[in-house]
Amino acid sequence: MSLRIKTIAGAALLLAGGAGAGALVSGAQAQQAAKAPVILIVDQSVILSQSDAGKTIPSQVQSIQGGVQKEFDAEAEKLKKDIENFEKGSSLMSEEVRQKTGQEIAMRQQVQLPQQAQIMEQVLNNVVQVAQAKILQEAQPIMKSVIDKRGATLLLDRSAVMYAAPDSDITQEVLAELNKKMKTVEVQKVTLAEVKKKAAEAAAKQASAAKNADKKKK
C-alpha cells in the first residue's frame, strides 16, 4: 500500500505589523512607512523535512503502516478462505443463501477492502499533516523573533518566490533554533478498526446521498 505524504507548507506566510486603516500618522511615521519593505524568506518544506522533529515522522509512519498492513493481510487471508469455502459448499446451499453469501463476498472483495486501503492512505496523510502542523506551530515564535531582530516587515514561504538574495533566507537560522526546542513529534497511531469505522461512515453518507437523489427524481 503506497503512501503519498503531503506536506502542509503553505504557499505564502505573512507576518506584518502596522497601524489600522484610517489612522493618522506623523511625518516621521509616514516617511518610515514609505520605505521599501524588508522581506525575508523561509522554506517550510525544509523545516518539516530536515528538522530533528520532522525526521522522526517517516519512521513512525512506516511503523504504523506496517502494523495496519498486517491487519489488512489477515483480512485478505480470511476473505480468501471464505471464498474457497463458498466455492466448495455453494452446491449444498439453497438458492437464497447461495445468492446472499455470494453477494456478501463480492462486496468485501470488490468494495470494502479497496475502500479501506484508500481510506487508510487518507488517514495516514491526515495524521502526518497534524504532526507537521505541530512543528510549524513551534517554529512560529522563532520566525517572529528573527523578523523582529532584522526589522523585517514581510515573511514569505520559499515556494512563493522565484528569486531571493541568499541573506534574505532565514530557513537555516530558524532550523537551528527549532532543533534546540523540539527533538521529536508524535504521529497519532492508526488502527484497522478506525479505518473500518471511517469506511462505514463514508458508505453511510453515500447511501444517504443516493437515497436523497432518488427522492428528488420522484
- Torsions phi, psi for 165 (to 5 deg): -60, 140
CATH, domain 31-211, list 3.90.1150.10, 3.30.910.20, 3.60.15.10, 3.50.50.60 = 3.30.910.20
- pLDDT at residue 33 in the model: 56
pLDDT tens column, 83-107:
999 899 888 889 999 999 999 999 8
Sketch the domain layout of the chain as residue ranges. 31-211
Nearest Cα to Cα of residue 72 among 202, 64, 107 = 64
| pLDDT tens track for 1-55 | 444 445 454 434 444 444 333 344 445 455 555 577 899 999 999 999 999 999 9
Residue type at position 109: Q
Mode of pairing for the β-strands spanning 39-42 and 154-157: parallel
Judge whether residue 59 has pLDDT over 80.
yes
Gyration radius of the chain's alpha carbons: 27
- Chain centroid to Cα 165, Å, comes to 31
Evaluate whether 52 touches 179 at the Cβ level (below 8 Å): yes
pLDDT at 14: 44
- Joined together, the cell numbers standing for residue 162 give 522565484
Q: What is the 8-class DSSP label of residue 112? A: I
The predicted-structure confidence for 65-88, as pLDDT tens digits, reads as follows 999 889 889 989 999 999 999 899
Q: Looking at the chain, how many residues does it have?
A: 218
Distances, alpha carbon 216 to alpha carbons 32, 147, 202, 210, in Å: 62, 56, 21, 10
CA 28 to each of CA 25, 31, 36: distance values in angstroms, whole numbers, following the listed order: 8, 5, 15
